[in-house]
Structure 1
């Protein structure tokens, strides 16, 4: 296996120290000169390593002072547990994630009738141009933005039902809402990737420039038929993504 570039090794070591608490919130990172001596690298390599952590949003530079660990609370997104049928259809999976981190989760939303473009139509197994409910979300933990999501549901399934408008019914969350109309979700597929945040995402999530974000392409199905698909955006430095996979 190829040896990773030195700047990624340095970034990984600093990240591990931050996540373990060895470098706590507000702590100052070792100086560039110190890291150069420790790893026997040039100043440019050290700058690249620190730039990676800045891009993840877990450290910040302070003019004339140095680079410090940002004071942020990381939410843990347990993919397997978040959509289990708990009998509590009044609490969203995000609210539960925030509560486990000792924070209060809220969200802003906007739902409207729309048409599926080719990308969304393929994910929902419908014809392009089919009517869908498009809902955009901005999630906040203790009033700080921490997640974006845009979801799509085929109106052929939900139109005229009590769950047509995702935020207006008593049931909360895709699984509970579909249960309410007799559609039993039995699988969710998530495709996770990492990319640079767009300008709009930087503004909406109050992120540093040149930040990296996790993206999750999620689709719920019932009996093999897609019932909802969503594009989720998570700041890399604010979330841990946990997947528990049962082995039969």
Structure 2
């Protein structure tokens, strides 16, 4: 015999429906906990849980001393098929393409430095542990909202002393274009996608609610059988759609 859902889920569903229908538009303030208590005849704890559900989904955000408001939930779409383009007109950054398709401006900050590969990265790149690599940490923004983190590793045995040694210092943008510039032809990219809880650092960097979930992508570029770049990518669960198109031979 079916049972009724908990009261906090019913309240969350009603609020979610109001956001979806536009009755609560982007920037609108949600009813207060006291208002929800009065409207639904529930305790403050139940009202708080209902709002926490929506915060965890990225639909609303709390503003200290002000209340809870509906967020802009436009999602970026990450198409795996064809996202890495070779030289041509227009933008060559895959993230810039993702943001532009969503009608947003894509920007990023980065920090590059020489490092040594730990055991995990060494295994992915097929190099010895402690071998020299270029490590670059990125934070990506869509219309000034942080939407992605990425840490990439490139073996310096391939890039050191070339015009693309420092990933953001040359004219070429993106792994494929940069490797093409030094005669290394990328032929394949492998991605492993997982879902997990966000770390405290990720919550802070991506402006996420507590207990949020993130997609993680372990990406490796290959030139033939040789790995030329490995990256760990973090995407907020409520801000991205991951699309994989797989041709059938």
Answer yes or no: same fold by TM over 0.5: yes
Counterpart mapping for 1:1-248 below 5 A = 25-26=26-27, 51-60=52-61, 69-85=70-86, 87-88=88-89, 91-248=92-249
Query: Residue 218 of structure 2 aligns to a residue in which SS?
Result: strand
> More deviation in 56-65 or 224-233?
56-65
Figure out how many residues of one structure are paired with residues of the other and give that number.
242
> More deviation in 139-148 or 162-171?
139-148
Provide the rounded CA distance (Å) in 1 between the counterparts of 2:13 and 2:19. 10
Please say if residues 103 and 142 of structure 1, whose CA atoms lie closer than 8 Å, have aligned partners that are also in contact.
yes
How far is 1:237 from its partner? 1.4
Please say if residues 85 and 177 of structure 2, whose CA atoms lie closer than 8 Å, have aligned partners that are also in contact.
no
How far is 1:204 from its partner? 1.2
Normalised TM-score (structure 1)? 0.80
Change (3 A) 1:185 1:20: farther
Cα RMSD, aligned residues only: 3.4
Provide the rounded CA distance (Å) in 2 between the counterparts of 1:12 and 1:221. 45
Provide the rounded CA distance (Å) in 1 between the counterparts of 2:141 and 2:65. 32
Query: Residue 217 of structure 1 aligns to a residue in which SS?
Result: strand
Provide the rounded CA distance (Å) in 1 between the counterparts of 2:94 and 2:230. 16
Provide the rounded CA distance (Å) in 1 between the counterparts of 2:13 and 2:56. 13
Normalised TM-score (structure 2)? 0.80
Q: Which residue of 2 aligns with 1:40?
A: none
Provide the rounded CA distance (Å) in 1 between the counterparts of 2:147 and 2:211. 17
Deviation readout 1:116-154 (Å, 9 max, x if unpaired): 000100111111011000000111111221111100000
Provide the rounded CA distance (Å) in 2 between the counterparts of 1:226 and 1:156. 12
Please say if residues 117 and 131 of structure 2, whose CA atoms lie closer than 8 Å, have aligned partners that are also in contact.
yes
Which sections of structure 2, spanning at least 5 residues, go unmatched?
A: none
